[in-house]
Each structure stands twice: as C-alpha cells, then as structure tokens.
Structure 1
Amino acid sequence: MTPILVTDTVRVPAAALALRTSRAGGPGGQRVNKVATRVELTVDLDAIEGLPDAARARLAALARHRITNALFVPAMLQFLTQVPGAAEGDYGALRAIVYGASPITNEVLVRSLKTFRCPFVQVYGLTETTGAITQLAAEDHATEGPRARLLRSAGKPFPWVEFRIVEPGTERECAPGDVGELLTRSVQNFRGYWGRPEETARTLSADGWLRTGDAGYLDAEGYLFLTDRVKDMIITGGENVYPAEVENALSDHPAVADVAVIGVPDDRWGETVKAIVVPRAGAAPRPEELIAFARARLAHFKCPTSVDFADTLPRNPSGKLLKRELREPYWRGRERRIN
C-alpha cells in the first residue's frame, strides 16, 4: 500500500480535540474525553490480518480484559459475529463501539448490535479530512420502526463541516435527495498532497472544497447517505448502479458470508453487474438462486447477471474491498471503461 502524505495546519488538532470531547451518543448523554485524567480502557481492534482465525481470540479478549470502548472496521465485526456462540459472550463492560473506514451492510450491523448489546457510533472521514467529519449517534441505531432507515446513513456532519452534493466531475449542484459526489469544506481539510500540486488542484478547490470521490445524498433531516465510491459505479445500458446497494441486498441471503459486486465487460450494455460471493460454511447457493433473491429486492437493471464464487475476498488492512483486484481478470486486455 502506498502511503498518502498530506499537509495540514494547527487548526486540525483543535478540530480533533472538539471531536474527542463531543457527545458520543451513549446513555445519559455521556461524553468521551480522551484528555481527561481518568483513563478508560480503549482498544483499536480494526486490523484484519489473520481473520477469521483471530476472531475467537479477540472476542475472548473483550470479555477477559473488560474492554470499555472498542473501534472496529466492518470486516472485523462481520467475522466476530460469525463466531459460533459469539452472542453469548460477556461484554457487559462495553460502553461503546465505534466503527467506520468502510461500508457496513444492514445484516452485519444489526447482528453486531444484538451480539454486543452496547451503544454503537459510526464515524466517516478520509485521509484528506484528517479525521471524522460525520457521526451516526447511538440513538440513530434503531433496528425497527421508521428510524431503522438510518442504519444505512453515515450520520450528520459535525458543526464545523460543510457539505455539497454535485454531479460527478462538475460543480453543478444536485437536487435534494439526488445522488452525486460529496464535496466537503472544514478546518480539518488537508492543505494538499506533499509534492503533488497537480493532484492537489484536482482534489481541493481554491476556496477549500474537497472532492471526496464518494457518491451519496443528503436527506431532508441532513443525514448523509453514501452509496459508493464514484469510481466503482457501474454504468449498464446508461443506468447507474452503485455496487454497495447490491452488496447490501445480497448480504441478507442466509447462505452469503461475504460479497463484492463489480462491473464486467458486456458487448451489449457496455458493463454488466457481477457478484462475487463467499458462501457460508456448509452452504452451496446456486447463481440463479442469488440472482432471483436480488431481483425480489432491487430494480432489475441493478441485479447481477452472473455470480462467481470465491473462498475469500481481497481487502486492505482497514477492511476495504480491493475492487481493482477483483475487476482485473475480467478487464485484462480491454480498453478500460471503469468509472
């Protein structure tokens, strides 16, 4: 993995301090203060090397060491909650679990809430924002009723963060509720890529707006919903398909342990939707079964036209799917048309 070197200002630590002392959404409006004299036992459990073999040991560590606060990437939550008997563990010391860094499916999030039985808080940010810029608070994690829709949200921006949604590659504002590229401006934004002025100019405008490369929309209440990376969007027959939506639908199938959706070449439609599925242990789903499952939940143009199976899916250390590696065998030798 190539490191990203960015520059920032003294305003960034101040914003980070404000974030660390902001409400975490726990019971009674508890506040998380990382500079207090009182020491809380917090562990960062987001490294995914050795998964799923390490999952059982990490569950045991949560109970044995009476961990009060934990940070997870979704891939870790996925593997932890798939351990047999995970929901019977003693996690009574947990005050909060913070998660982020990559998309999480409804199925994994609901299963995690039921397993650990503590407040959950989601954060979203980028290297270029030098930290989190949104938070989905604990009270926004209802699993039933009309507020359950917020489980698909990345939350609301912090007070010092501004958002715009624009048509990808342009400055044209999208209508409310329409999907576009997220632009953000705040004191947290980086000043540029070290030694790469051209890339800085493409990413950061003169008036401070940062192109995140993430596609999404804002609802009427100001919640941010991210649909996918702009570059991962599939254009099939002129229709835009965001893989994360398809992955979320397929992950609800009881035989699916993990899933990635990519665009592959198609002579008629330009690209078509392919799902790559890791079956659960002992399961043997058929491609037509999974396609029918998706068709019952999504518009037909969004559904996979083919399904491949794999033992594992490639991810980086923070749990993000490596879509480029997945696409490579299907696009090798062709002129690329990946967005």
Structure 2
Amino acid sequence: MATRFATLAEITGHFAETTPDRAAIRVDGAVWTYADLHERSVRCVAALRGLGVKPGDRVGWLALNHPDYITLMCACFRLGAVLVAINARLVAREIAYILGDAGIDVLVSETAFLPLVEDASAATGLAHVVLLDSTHDGRPAFAGWIAAHAPDDAMPAISPDDIALQLYTSGTTGFPKGALLSHRQLLGTIEKGGLTGEAWGQWREDDVALVAMPLFHIGGTGWALHALEAGATMVILPRPDVPGMVNAISEDGATRMFAVPAVLLAICQYLETVPANLGAMRALYYGASPIPLEVLRRSMLAFPNAEFVQCYGATETCGTVVYLPPADHDPAGNQRMRGCGKPYPGNEVKIIDGEGHSLPPGAVGEICIRSVSVMAGYHNKPEATAKAVVDGWYLTGDAGYLDEDGYLYIHDRVKDMIVSGAENIYPAEVENALHEHPAVADCAVIGVPDARWGEAVKAIVVKKADVSEQELIAFAKQRIAAYKVPKSVEFIEALPRNPSGKILKKDLREPYWAGHERRVG
C-alpha cells in the first residue's frame, strides 16, 4: 500500500478537508482536530513568512515533546523550509555548533532552555526566538504569535526530493552531522509497513499513537509522521514518563507505540506496584538497542493484545529499514529473536568486507543498506557523505551477518560509536572534551556493557598530572551533554597502538566484552 501523498506538505490540508473533525492530537485533556491542526499550521506559515523565512531556510526547535512541534513541522513542510530539531540534552556549545552549522535564524524553544539559548545565540547571532510556554524579554509565546497572523494557505512548488528535515547525529570527528531527509525518503519509510501485507503494518484511522520518545530523534519524529500520514490520533507526552505512558494506554486507549527496551522494562517494573490494563495496545514497535529475552517475556505479558515488532535503522535511513515481525517473536525464545529481522519490502541489505566485496551468509562484515529511505547526504559535508553513501548504499558502521533466509544479526561495530539508552555517542566528541583538561596526556573512550542502557561510556586516560576520576567526569559535564559524559574513568600508563599510531580500541574493549556473544549493547 503506497502512501497517498507526494510530499509531506499535503497532509494536514487533506485531512482538514476529508476528516476535519477527527482528533489529530490529544494533550492535557484538550483535543485538536485535523481542522484545528491545519489552521494552526497555516497561521504558523504566515508567522514564519513574517520573519522572512523562505523555502530552503532552516527553522530550529529546542524543547521537549510538545503538540506545537507538529504545528511547526507541518508549517515548515508547507513553506518549503527545513525543520532542524535539536537534542534538548545538549549543552550550550553543542547547541551553538548546530545553530551555526545549519544557519538557523528562527528558533522555537521554551523558557527552561533560555540560558542555553542565550549562551549559544551569543556565538551565532540567532535573530529570533519564539517561546512555547510564555513571553519573556520581548520574545513572543508561540500560541499567541501564530494566532496574531491570518492563515496563509499558499504553498510554493514543493518537490518530493526537497529536504524536509535536518536531524543531527553524533560525529566521528567530534562534530555532529546534519542528516538531510527529503519528503520522498520520509514517505518511503512510512509506506513500508503497509507493503508487508501484515495486519500490524496497516494503520487504521481509529489508531491512537503514543508519541513519548523524543521528537528530536528520528524515532520520535518518524513515529509522529506515521500517525500523521495515516490520519490517526496522537497522544504526545513531554518525555517517556512511565506513569504517563501507562495512563495514555489504559485511559486514552493508545493502540500503537514505539519504545526502547529500557522504557519497556521500566513499564513492567511500574506495573508490579501500580497494575493497569494495557489491552488497548495493538502494535508495539521497539528498537535502538537489543532487548533481553526476560524483558521481552514480561512485556508480552504486560501488553497481552500487542503484536511486537523489532526495528533496526538509523537517522540516515529515516528510521526503520529492517524489522522482526510478530510471527518471529516467541516468549520461549528462538534463533531469529537474537537478530534484527529482515528488510522491509523494497529494501536491500548486504554485508561487505574491508574492500567493499559482498560476503556470503554467515560471514561477518559491515552492514550496508539500499533503500528509498537512505538520506540525501550530510549538510555541508560532501566528504562525509561520500564515505557514508557509496553507489546508493548506506554504510552503517555496524558489523553483522545475514543468515540463509536473509535475516540480519548484529555482531559488533566497525565504527567506534557507542549506543547508550538509544543515544548515539561518538568517542571523538568525548575525547575532545577530555583532552581540554590540562592533566590529560592521552585518552580513549569506549562503550562497555550496561544492563540497563545497553552500553555505558568509559574513558581510559593517561594522565600527565594528578587528577581524579570525579574531577574528569565533572569537567566533561561542563562541555558535553550528560548522556555523553563518561560513567567511569580508568587510568593506565599508555594506550595500546598499532605501528601507525592508531589506538587499538578493540583491545581496550575486549576485557569488558569477554563472554558476550554480541560485542555491542
């Protein structure tokens, strides 16, 4: 079943005309119909145009999940502008880098983030800040700002290949990269579930999607776009708050959700003391890190009517490209549950060696993906784009293998990236921060096993002056987002290196991953 839209810009107008009274968003007891959402979006178009925003311009978002993220996103689609959702866990200098790299002149944020915004804008010359929750020092509040403008329904010519979203990923060199995602690529991802022909992949108009994962990640925004394209209803929570999620299912009747395994475990633990009926949930998608079999068993009991679907993908692929369908889920466990699943219809996966040659089933190499969903590239980074996308294949940096049936299994990582609690962390970012400390002579950052988050960040440090583990952790907290900060520091005399001077991180990781079949979290 192909999507009915050529671009994302058409969605709110379509449903405002065909199903104007259907609920689009439920939040805090209020209901926005599709007519309401469309009107807010076209008023937002007028407000953005009033600030000089043109097709191709970047508009920023720095906030927790909020229904007006959908307003702003749909307005950007209709205006031909590009929405840049910034990770709300970053520190000021990381935010400043993204504001400058993307060239953002208009930012929607909230009062709690103003100190970060002001620090960052001092370095970038950010022209306009609109606040979600209140006015402050002459900065307008979003709702009043858009209400003051008459609806502007005019749209420029928008191509399916125009960029719709620019989402930043951690960078191998210490700087994040803005993945450019077009209308065609995002809609291509949305249609894949329907192409399976399986019931769980068919969205219904009466579906209620729980949007709790961060909208500044593709997991959150992509999930919201699935609901929007289906004309379904969204329940949007500021964060993956467990009581709120349970209430959204038991009271608001949420039928679909995406969550990371750590959140599923937290829900199961919560239900031990606060029982609730989660029978409304029909389809539960999970991913971003492996799920222990015991957590999956408990989750299947907690959500008795839900079909479970494991997801594997990346920001660079607009989200999920490989899935493990409900038919391959067994509470008793099976071989396929150790892997990620199979490619969606129309997607291709291959495994290559270090020279780019395809490998046979069972052989471990780098996982490569070819799909309509592969990004257009990295913003202003042609060299990084050329390394990441080769002849239409996205090189994931993950190491794995395919079985005889085409199912994918993760083994390790080719790149040094760490995944902790669904956040991607490149060691270079952490190492750059630690190297600023005068007592650090050399350092390497690795991921080590963590029962809750999959991996934890660990720093291996060679010091040239006396410094403690606590001092280095506190130092890092001032420079990088908290989720990137090392959870532990180990001091050694010298880092292992090969003859060309490259740090042998595999050797550093080995003692921590010994005995683990899978060498990543």
Give yes or no for TM over 0.5: yes
Q: How far apart, CA to CA, are the structure 2 residues paired with 1:110 and 1:13?
A: 32
Q: How far apart, CA to CA, are the structure 1 residues paired with 2:455 and 2:341?
A: 24
How many residue pairs match? The answer is 259
Corresponding letter in the other structure for 1:144: A
In structure 1, the residue matched to 2:112 is: none
In structure 2, the residue matched to 1:71 is: 258
In structure 2, the residue matched to 1:139 is: 327
Q: How far apart, CA to CA, are the structure 1 residues paired with 2:214 and 2:494?
A: 35
Contact persistence 2:209–2:254 (CA under 8 A):
yes
Q: How far apart, CA to CA, are the structure 1 residues paired with 2:248 and 2:181?
A: 36
Query: RMSD in angstroms over aligned alpha carbons?
Result: 3.7
Contact persistence 1:232–1:262 (CA under 8 A):
no
Contact persistence 2:317–2:373 (CA under 8 A):
yes
In structure 1, the residue matched to 2:208 is: 41
Q: How far apart, CA to CA, are the structure 1 residues paired with 2:331 and 2:195?
A: 24
Q: How far apart, CA to CA, are the structure 2 residues paired with 1:204 and 1:89?
A: 46
1:256-314 CA-partner distances (Å, limit 9, x unpaired): x6664678869xxxxxxxxxxxxxxxxxxxxxxxxxxxxxxxxxxxxxxxxxxxxxxx9
In structure 1, the residue matched to 2:345 is: 159
Q: How far apart, CA to CA, are the structure 1 residues paired with 2:487 and 2:297?
A: 30
Contact persistence 1:140–1:151 (CA under 8 A):
yes
Q: How far apart, CA to CA, are the structure 2 residues paired with 1:24 and 1:138?
A: 13
> What TM-score comes out, normalization by structure 2 length?
0.43
Which secondary structure state, in structure 2, belongs to the residue aligned with residue 21 of structure 1? Answer: helix
In structure 1, the residue matched to 2:39 is: none
In structure 2, the residue matched to 1:338 is: 505
Q: How far apart, CA to CA, are the structure 2 residues paired with 1:259 and 1:123?
A: 16
Choose which of 314, 329, 339 in structure 1 pairs with 2:489. 329
1:4-26 CA-partner distances (Å, limit 9, x unpaired): 4233455324413422523484x
Q: How far apart, CA to CA, are the structure 2 residues paired with 1:72 and 1:143?
A: 19
Distance 1:217 1:264, change over 3 A: farther
In structure 2, the residue matched to 1:193 is: 378
Which secondary structure state, in structure 2, belongs to the residue aligned with residue 222 of structure 1? Answer: coil
Distance 1:327 1:199, change over 3 A: farther
Contact persistence 1:23–1:30 (CA under 8 A):
no
1:210 CA drift (Å): 1.2
Choose which of 217, 239, 248 in structure 2 pairs with 1:61. 248
Distance 1:144 1:20, change over 3 A: closer
Which moves more between the two structures, 85-94 or 324-333?
324-333
Higher relative contact order (CA 8 A, sep 6+): 1
Contact persistence 1:123–1:134 (CA under 8 A):
yes
Corresponding letter in the other structure for 2:489: P
Which secondary structure state, in structure 2, belongs to the residue aligned with residue 83 of structure 1? Answer: helix
1:196 CA drift (Å): 0.5
Q: How far apart, CA to CA, are the structure 2 residues paired with 1:20 and 1:86?
A: 35
Which secondary structure state, in structure 1, belongs to the residue aligned with residue 270 of structure 2? Answer: coil
Distance 1:66 1:86, change over 3 A: farther
Which secondary structure state, in structure 1, belongs to the residue aligned with residue 411 of structure 2? Answer: strand
Q: How far apart, CA to CA, are the structure 1 residues paired with 2:397 and 2:292?
A: 20
Distance 1:197 1:232, change over 3 A: closer
Q: How far apart, CA to CA, are the structure 1 residues paired with 2:325 and 2:274?
A: 23
1:218 CA drift (Å): 0.8
Which moves more between the two structures, 79-88 or 179-188?
79-88
1:43 CA drift (Å): 0.9
Q: How far apart, CA to CA, are the structure 2 residues paired with 1:31 and 1:9?
A: 22
Which secondary structure state, in structure 2, belongs to the residue aligned with residue 18 of structure 1? Answer: helix
Structure 2 residue ranges without an equivalent (≥5): 1-89, 91-97, 99-167, 169-176, 216-236, 419-445, 462-476, 496-502, 507-521
Q: How far apart, CA to CA, are the structure 2 residues paired with 1:218 and 1:243?
A: 24
Distance 1:23 1:160, change over 3 A: closer
Contact persistence 1:87–1:115 (CA under 8 A):
no
Matches within 5 A, 1:98-177: 98-117=285-304, 118-144=306-332, 148-167=334-353, 169-177=354-362
Query: Percent same amino acid at aligned positions?
Result: 31
1:182 CA drift (Å): 0.3
Tell me if 1:21 matches 2:191.
Answer: no
Contact persistence 1:121–1:136 (CA under 8 A):
yes
Structure label with greater radius of gyration: 2
1:159 CA drift (Å): 2.1
Corresponding letter in the other structure for 1:196: K
1:137 CA drift (Å): 0.8
Q: How far apart, CA to CA, are the structure 1 residues paired with 2:259 and 2:293?
A: 16
